[in-house]
Amino acid sequence: MINALAIFVLQLIYVPLLTLRTTFVVKGKKVQASLFAFLEAIIYIVSLGIVFSDLKNFLNIGSYILGYGIGVYIGGRIEEKLAIGYRSIHVNLTNYNEDLINKLRELRFGVTTYEGEGINKEKRFKLEIVSHRSRENEVISLIQSLEKNAFIVSYEPTQFRGGYITKQLKKL
């Protein structure tokens, strides 16, 4: 019973570390990813060692499986809370909304505006907004509160140079 509990707890630590390591690798943070990998390997060897020492003990195997599944959920929640990175949010509007643009800029979001035309040659206005990922929902909520019919798409930029965000990063 103690072994099953140890395996379960180790999986609750191991799998979120695995999630974070993967996230840091994808974000280009190799040093942090390496540290997570080191801890991950230790936990992996210990927990699998306990499981493999008695393959007839289904409680240990079940604890490993259950801990892994719950660990995936925990890792996902941690990754959401950390919200590492940036979002490029593209907004299409039917009318130019200066209030929205000014409010976004007041809140220190980088905003670029464009004028274009829709399928039937009607005027459209596009906003490109760069935000920390942790503030993406704030941006979208603000847009939806001021523009009910806005078409919103967000992307994760892999890199950027110059512009408002780069200037803000230098201030930090």
The pLDDT of residue 49: 94
The pLDDT of residue 20: 93
How many whole angstroms separate alpha carbon 29 and alpha carbon 113?
32
CATH of the domain at 157: 3.30.70.120
The pLDDT of residue 85: 84
Domain of residue 22: give its range.
2-82
Name the token pair of 60.
């240990």
Residue 27: what are its φ and ψ, rounded to 5°? -85, 0
Task: Name residues of the chain where pLDDT drops below 70.
Answer: 160-172
Half-sphere exposure of 116 (CA within 13 A, CB side): 10
The pLDDT of residue 172: 46
- Those residues whose C-beta lies under 8 Å from the C-beta of residue 170, and which sit 6 or more positions away, are none
The pLDDT of residue 82: 87
pTM of the predicted structure, to 2 decimals: 0.70
Q: How many distinct structural domains can be found in the chain?
A: 2
Beta strands in 26-172 (DSSP E): 86-93, 110-117, 123-132, 151-155
Residue that is last in its domain, among 51, 67, 82: 82
Q: For 93-108, how does the pLDDT look when each residue is reduced to its tens digit (9 = 90+)?
A: 999 999 999 999 999 9
Q: Is the domain of 95 the same as that of 29?
A: no
